[in-house]
Amino acid sequence: GTGADNDLYINQAIVFIEDAIQYRSINHRVDSKSLWLYRWYYSRTCQWILSLTITIILALAFIEKPSSLTITSDVRYRPPAWNPPCGLTESIELLCLLVFLVDVSVKSYLVGWEEFWRNKWLMAYILTLIVSLADWMVSLSYFCREDVRIRRILRPFFLLQNSSMMKKTLKSINSTLPEMASVVLLLAVHLSLFTMFAMLLFARTKDGQQDKEWVRYFRNLPDSLTSLLVLLTTANNPDVMIPAYSKNRAYSIFFILFTVLGNLFLMNLLTAIIYNQFRGYLLKSVQSSLFRRRLGIRAAFEVLSSLKETPANAQQSYVSVGALLQVLQKVEMDARCKQAIMRSLKMCSCDQLSATQFQKLFEELDKDSIKQHPPSPEYQSHFLQKMQFAFGHPYFGYLGNVVALANIVSICVVLVMDADKQPSERDDFFLGAINCFFILYYLLEMLLKILAMGLQRYLSYPSNIFDGLLTVILLVLEIATFAVYGFPHPGWRPEFMGLLSLWDMVRLVNMLIVFRFLRIIPNMKFMALVVTTLLDLVKNLRAFAGILVVVFYAFAITGIMLFKGAVVPLGNASVGRMNSWSIGQTTLMTLLSIFQGKNSLFDANAFYCLLYLLSVHMICRWAKIYFVAWWLISSVIWVNLFVALLLENFIHKWDRRCHREPISDIEYQRTVELMFRDVLEEPTEEELMEKLHQHPHLQLCR
């Protein structure tokens, strides 16, 4: 019937507008039941359950068998790790996999049969689930004693497929791969040619004294390759050239040439290439988000215009204001935006909306949410007004900064004086008294500011919240200290009492004071710029970080599987650090340090090659390949991607800063979309309509 049709149209419009708000694709089924399922699937609860499931399945690795999450990492001191009984982690895993099974079924149903076959991500999802379930069954049939668990390496895929941002980023990275591969090939050619040169230069000679270089670094092809590869990461520089250099200074030319060509030119070329590829990446991604938003709004307009209540108009389609109001009431969106749209709908006196008007109405979504700070209280008393003026003035804030700096300096002085003292010789009186004074000042500052600004206005500034929270914590700590240890006096060295020793309390207070000093950041222009850039960057980097987590997880699991049992704790301490590590965390740590510093490749190798002598055969070579792969992916590719994004973000920000003065009173609340607003292109009507007519499930009348 017409009523049912109308209901359907209304529901479609609701879903399309929600799609537009969330930048989702509108290519899903649009019949009544599917719409209900769609809204249920994308409801907050469902998505939250899905995220939780992904977190749980990823976190399982921390309690599963080869891992050993204990406080200390020292094999000699730590208690045996808790070993979950067979079936515990497995049943949690099964639950998670079942949730994913439901997820993939709903997703596949919603996109429809035709789309499903074209969607490689969904296919891969199903395949991953099948393999995981099969592996799970194998696991149970061996009573959890099987050696290899493929499903663990597959786990990060669940994280990957759930984020459209990450999929998009992966596609971008994928398109950069050919160029990156060229440079990596170039690096390989560079490396192999120089290896041959090195083997010819540093060959074995008759005089045993003269061929130290050969003995240590260029004994055979794998050794030579490793030496030069590690030189490329600058880890063994300048050690690798010392023997040759002390024989003849001219040998250093070889190493300098290698480093300059490889490290300075080729490595930075990789940065250049990745930056060049990613220059337009952010803009393109924001542009496509904009297109999705406009498309969703337009789709909503089209279905609303086919409502039977609107008078048929040959030239142009219209949407009645009533229908739109009906839709708006049911749409889930930001309350502020909804109110703004309602308001402008009421202000417009017409009762029919054209497509342009409709689109314009929803531009509210793209706007900055300008945060209005509540007004300061208006005091009657003259004295209070003066107080308000004095303590609401920026100079009062600066005074606070100066006091905080003084506090930091006093802590620093005490630290320097106490650095070499025995704990029993320390006198905590001075620091205790001084900190007590400063914390009282902080409390006073907070109260006076609240008096001047009113509580609501005070809390509307994030810097004040940061400040106030820390002040309250400091106050509580200080009161607790006095309650347990009494007031400070000369020679104040009480014994251990309660949860924390006095010394620990004082340290904690000091750390919080140092942390509180960060409140100066917004007062320094350049620092504020840098910090906002970094915060923006963090927003834009979420997808990259996600992919990094995925790769990191897969590598860590592979590492745990490869090097399981390679660490044999020895009673003898002479092997030192080497055997004092435990396996799961060793892998994590090693990966992390390679990623951070790119210079531990060599250490890691030496580490595993020592283990190789101790216990397992062939692991040394595998370790080499494994660590080189990780070095390439994390340190070379990911870090360069990061630099490219940072350059992109920073240069945009910098240009904007030069163009216009920041309006200091308006809070900074920009999204990536807004950063590019000036350069974005609005999609044309034709593009939108063409895309709409390609919709696999929506049949438009016209």
Range 484-503, binding its own copies (CB under 8 A): 503
Q: What is the dihedral of CA 291, 292, 298, 303, to 10 degrees?
A: 160
Tally Cβ neighbours within 10 Å of residue 698. Answer: 18
Q: Which of 167, 219, 330, 338 binds its own copies (CB under 8 A)?
A: 219
Q: Looking at residues 332 to 391 of the shown chain, list those that interact with its own copies (rule: CB under 8 A).
A: none
Q: Which is nearer to its own copies, 252 or 310 (CB)?
A: 252
Residue closest to 254 by CA, chosen among 266, 240, 270:
240
Tell me if 466 contacts its own copies by CB under 8 A: no
SS3 per-residue string spanning 220-288: CHHHHHHHHHHHHCCCCCCHHHHHHHHHCCCHHHHHHHHHHHHHHHHHHHHHHHHHHHHCCHHHHHHHH
Q: Using the rule CB under 8 A, which residue among 336, 507, 542, 621 binds its own copies?
A: 507
CA distance 448 to 236: 58
Of the ranges 116-124, 286-294, 639-647, 667-675, which one interacts with its own copies (CB under 8 A)? 639-647
Nearest-approach distance from CB 478 to its own copies, in angstroms: 16
427 is a contact residue toward its own copies (CB under 8 A) = no
Length of the chain, in residues: 702
Scan residues 168-207 and list those touching its own copies (CB under 8 A): 179, 182-183, 186, 189, 193, 196-197, 199-201, 203-206
Which CB, 85 or 208, lies closer to its own copies? 208
Q: What is the pairing mode between strands 319-320 and 352-353?
A: antiparallel
The contact pattern for its own copies, residues 256-295, with x = CB under 8 A and - = no contact, is x--xx--xxx--xx-xxx-xx--x----------------
Q: From the list 247, 330, 360, 670, which residue makes contact with its own copies (rule: CB under 8 A)? A: 247
Nearer to its own copies, 69 or 700 (CB): 69
Structure tokens at 74: 């020292």
Rule CB under 8 A: is residue 534 a binding residue for its own copies?
Answer: yes
Q: How far, in Å, CA of 436 to CA of 346, rounded?
A: 58
The whole-angstrom separation of Cα 582 and Cα 72 is 10
We find the least distance from the C-beta atom of residue 618 to its own copies, in angstroms, to be: 19
Q: Which residue type sits at 315?
A: Q
Least Å from the CB of residue 507 to its own copies: 5
- Give the nearest distance from C-beta 580 to its own copies in angstroms: 6
Tokens of 668: 């900074």
Residue 445, H or E segment: helix 429-453
Q: How far is the CB of 644 from its own copies (least distance, A)?
A: 10
Least distance from C-beta 542 to its own copies, angstroms? 15
What sign for the dihedral angle of Cα 191, 193, 196, 198? negative
Closest distance to its own copies from the beta carbon of 599 (Å)? 5
Report whether 29 contacts 110 (CB < 8 A): yes
Least distance CB 661 / its own copies (angstroms):
18
Answer yes or no whether residue 511 interacts with its own copies by CB under 8 A.
yes
Cβ proximity to its own copies, 269 vs 399, nearer residue: 269
Among 42, 116, 245, 461, binds its own copies (CB under 8 A): 245
Between residues 67 and 388, which has the closer beta carbon with respect to its own copies? 67
Q: Which stretch binds its own copies (CB under 8 A): 57-65, 244-252, 454-462, 482-490?
A: 244-252
Q: How many CB atoms lie within 10 A of CB 131?
A: 14
* Contact yes or no for 122/108 (Cβ under 8 A): yes
**Nearest one of 407, 18, 403 to 26, comparing CA atoms:** 18
Smallest gap from residue 610 Cβ to its own copies (A) = 16
Triad 69, 75, 77: Cα angle to 5°: 95
Diameter over CA atoms, the chain: 103
CA dihedral 347, 351, 356, 359 (to 10 degrees): 60
We find the least distance from the C-beta atom of residue 510 to its own copies, in angstroms, to be 5
Site string for its own copies, 392-411 (x = CB under 8 A): ----------------x--x
Record the tokens describing residue 641, joined without a space. 């991607």
Kindly state the smallest distance separating residue 287's Cβ from its own copies, in Å.
20
446 and 468 Cβ atoms separated by less than 8 Å:
yes
The reply on whether position 549 binds its own copies by CB under 8 A is no
At closest approach, how far in Å is the CB of 625 from its own copies? Answer: 18
141 vs 422, beta carbon nearer its own copies: 422
Applying CB under 8 A, among 109, 430, 612, 650 the residue interacting with its own copies is 650
Is position 248 an interface residue for its own copies (rule: CB under 8 A)? yes
Tell which residue, 451, 439, 310, has the closest CA to residue 391.
Answer: 451
Q: φ, ψ for residue 691 (rounded to 5)? A: -65, -40
Near its own copies by CB under 8 A: residue from 44, 249, 489, 660? 249
Cβ nearer to its own copies, comparing 39 with 78: 78
Nearer to its own copies, 73 or 164 (CB): 73
User: Least Å distance between CB 265 and its own copies?
Assistant: 6
Q: 425: how many CB neighbours lie within 10 A of its CB?
A: 9
Q: Which is nearer to its own copies, 19 or 213 (CB)?
A: 213
Could you tell me which residues are beta bridge partners of residue 320? 352
SS3 per residue for 117-162: HHCHHHHHHHHHHHHHHHHHHHHHHCCCCCCCCHHHHHCHHHHHHC
Nearer to its own copies, 275 or 441 (CB): 275
- The contact pattern for its own copies, residues 569-608, with x = CB under 8 A and - = no contact, is --------x--xx---x---x--xx--xxxxx--x-----
Residue closer to its own copies (CB basis): 58 or 186: 186
Min dist CB 600 to its own copies, Å, is 6
Q: HSE of 611 in the Cβ direction (CA atoms, 13 Å)?
A: 30
Q: Does 647 bind its own copies (CB under 8 A)?
A: yes
Q: Which is nearer to its own copies, 254 or 612 (CB)?
A: 254
Q: Is residue 647 within 8 Å of 275, Cβ to Cβ?
A: yes
Residue located via tokens 């907050």? 44
- Identity of the residue, 436 or 459, whose beta carbon is nearer to its own copies in the bound complex: 436
Q: Which of residues 75-134 bind its own copies (CB under 8 A)?
A: none
Beta bridge partners of 478: none
Q: Of 588, 546, 542, whose CA–CA distance to 159 is shortest?
A: 546
> With contacts defined by CB under 8 A, how many residues of the chain interact with its own copies?
95
Helix axes 281-305, 321-330, angle to 10 degrees: 120
Please report how the helices 601-614 and 583-597 are oriented relative to each other, as an axis angle in degrees rounded to 10.
150
**From candidates 143, 171, 250, 664, binder to its own copies by CB under 8 A:** 250
The dihedrals phi and psi of 28, each to the nearest 5 degrees, come to -135, 170
**Which of 137, 415, 444, 625 contacts its own copies by CB under 8 A?**
415
Is 142 exposed, middle or buried, given 0-12, 13-18 or 19+ CB atoms closer than 10 A? Answer: exposed
Site for its own copies in 33-72 (CB under 8 A): 69-72
- Of 108, 119, 164, 252, the residue at the interface with its own copies (CB under 8 A) is 252
Tell me how far, at minimum, the Cβ of 680 lies from its own copies, in Å: 22
Measured from the CB of residue 258, what is the shortest distance to its own copies in angstroms? 10
CB 71 → its own copies: shortest distance, Å? 5
